Amino acid sequence: MHIAVRGKNMDVTPALKEYVEKRLGKIEKYFDYPVSPQVTLSLERDRHIVEVTLPVNGMLLRGEEETGDMYSAVDLVLEKIEKQIDKYRTRLTRRNRAQAKGGTPEYIDTSDEPVIVRVKRFALKPMTVEEAVLQMNLLGHDFFVFRNAENEEVDVVYRRKDGNYGLIEPV
C-alpha cells in the first residue's frame, strides 16, 4: 500500500510520517486490492488537522480530525475512516445478498441508514458564480446548484467550514 503523506504549513518529520504509515497500514486488511490513501497534515495556529482521502471502487472515503496534537488527530481520523469502511462493506454485503436472492439493491431494507425522503425538481437558470452565491445566501442554504452562464455547465457553489465559498465544476 502506498500512502501519500504531505504537510501543509509544516514539515512532515520522518517519525510523524512513519506513525501515519503504521497507523493507516491497518486499513489494508479490509481490502483484497491495493489502496492508496492520501494524507494531509496541516498546522494552523495551535490546531493540528489531519485529512485522509481514500479512493475505493470509484467512491471516496474521507475523514478529517482536528486536535491539539498531531498524533491523536491521526488516531481519531483512523477511527473515522474505519467506521466508513465498515459502513461501505455492510452496504456491499446487503447489495450482494439481495442480488443473490433475485431482488434489486434499491429495495434492500436499510432501516438503520438514511433514506431519500424528498425529491426536488427545479429549472436551472443560467447565472454567474457571484449570482449563485447571492441566491444561496438569500435562501439560507449551504449549497446551490446552478447552470454557469460562462460555460453552460451545471455547477455547485457551497459554503466551506472556514466561511469562504467553494465551487464544484464537472470535468
Residues 131 and 98 in one domain: no
> Do the domain assignments include residue 120?
no
pTM of the model: 0.61
User: What's the pLDDT tens digit per position in 109-148?
Assistant: 555 667 788 888 888 889 999 999 999 888 889 999 999 9
Report the number of distinct structural domains present in the chain: 2
* % of the chain residues with pLDDT over 90: 51
> Do the domain assignments include residue 112?
no
Residues 41 and 100 in one domain: yes
CATH of residue 97: 3.30.160.100
Query: What sign does the dihedral 128-133-135-136 (CA atoms) show?
Result: positive
User: What are the φ and ψ backbone dihedral angles of 162, each rounded to 5 degrees?
Assistant: -80, 5
Q: What is the domain extent for residue 70?
A: 4-107
User: What's the pLDDT tens digit per position in 17-27?
Assistant: 999 999 999 99
Separation of alpha carbons 3 and 104, rounded Å: 36
> Do the domain assignments include residue 140?
yes
Residues 58 and 9 in one domain: yes
Which of 36-40, 60-64, 68-72, 95-99 has the weakest average pLDDT? Answer: 95-99
Instruction: Give residue 115's pLDDT.
Output: 79
Instruction: Give residue 108's pLDDT.
Output: 47
